[in-house]
Amino acid sequence: MAAPRHRRRGFSRRVQYGLFAGYVIAIVGVMLAIGLLMLSRFDPRAFNTLRGVVVDAGAVFTGLGRAGIRSGNEAGEVFDAYVAAGSQNAALKMELAKQRRAVIGAKIVAAENARLKRLVRLSEHLPRPILSARLIGSTPTGQRRFAILSAGTAEGVRPSMAVRSPEGLIGRVFENGIFASRVLLLTDGETAVPVKVVRNGLAALATGQGDGTMEIRALIAGGRAFRRGDLAVTSGTGGVYAPNIPVAVVTEVRGDRAVARPLADPSRADFAAVYPIFQAAITDLPAQPKP
């Protein structure tokens, strides 16, 4: 088929001017959009209210859909539980007996730990969670990795608060609506978490790679610092994240860098706890400048 010739200018001045005006508006609009892009790159908090309203509006739809998906999953699990229920029951009873012995052992260790801590007067000021809320969605079409949390400014959630699940760190709050907020996931390119390797206490920096993994770089140069299976936990350096939250496990070593997989899977975690911004206790005050 021959291509249709729309936008044919003809002899009408009115049509010619109309077409031209359309192009002019488009090009001016692109210029304005470039300005908007610059503004929001240098000041990510710009237009926070507008973006918050959209997060809220989206959370209404996402929350409804999420409830449906969850009930579907639960129905599947109920059916699944009836298959091989007898043998599973026996196996679980054996497991329970084993775990009971382990729990008794753990209780003894915990008591011993508390006694020793009292002995050395070691007190920990770890922050307590503000609330726990559901993760209801994410931005699956976009190039950034955000999850939607079903709590916002009305519940006291503020940007840069840490979000974690029982398995480990999920990310930090990026922007708020009134009753929903966007969480910057660990795998986003903007994330940078100060971590330490549990095996040798080495300080490192974990950054997201956008494809479900993180890259860990040692802060000290040289040597092969990482091994496969190393656990990285937050070090608490620089604030924001409280220390000793599990972050990721090393899956691949590339020279002095390592690729790691986050421990907490946000798609599995139903609930996530929001922690206030961590501020390390100041041990010695900076010296006063001499007048």
Partner 1 sequence: MISRRANPYAVQPPLRTVLVPILSTLAGSAMGFLPVIATEPIVPPCGLMMLLAWRLLRPEMWPPWAALPLGFADDLISGHYLGTSMILWTIAFLVLEWVDQVLVWRDGWIEWGIASVALVLIVFGAWLLSQPASSLTSMFTILPQSIGAILLFPAVLRLTASLDRWRLRR
Contact 55, 182 (CB under 8 A): yes
Q: Residue 171: how many CB atoms within 10 A of its CB? A: 28
Q: Between residue 169 and residue 208, which ones bind partner 1 under the rule CB under 8 A?
A: 182, 185, 187, 189-190, 192, 207-208
Distance of closest approach, residue 122 Cβ to partner 1, in angstroms = 37
Q: Residue 149: how many CB atoms within 10 A of its CB? A: 31
- Token pair 């077409």: residue: 19
- Cα torsion 35, 39, 41, 44 to 10°: value is -150
Q: Between residue 57 and residue 96, which ones bind partner 1 under the rule CB under 8 A?
A: 58, 61-63, 65-66, 68-69
- Token pair 């350096």: residue: 237
Q: Is 35 among the residues that bind partner 1 (CB under 8 A)?
A: yes
Q: Is 290 among the residues that bind partner 1 (CB under 8 A)?
A: no
Q: Is 139 among the residues that bind partner 1 (CB under 8 A)?
A: yes
Distance of closest approach, residue 186 Cβ to partner 1, in angstroms = 9
Helix 48-82 and helix 85-120, axial crossing angle in degrees, nearest 10: 130
Q: Mask 248-287, x = binds partner 1 (CB under 8 A)?
A: -----------------xxx--------------------
Phi, psi of 180 (to 5 degrees): -155, 160
Report the candidate in 266, 263, 261 with the shortest Cα–Cα distance to residue 183. Answer: 266
Please pick, from the candidates 78, 102, 125, 140, the single residue that binds partner 1 as defined by CB under 8 A: 140
Report the candidate in 262, 257, 253 with the shortest Cα–Cα distance to residue 232. Answer: 262
- Positions touching partner 1 (CB under 8 A) are 1-4, 6-7, 12, 14-15, 18-19, 22-23, 25-27, 29-30, 33-37, 39-41, 44, 46-47, 50-51, 54, 58, 61-63, 65-66, 68-69, 135-147, 182, 185, 187, 189-190, 192, 207-212, 215, 265-267
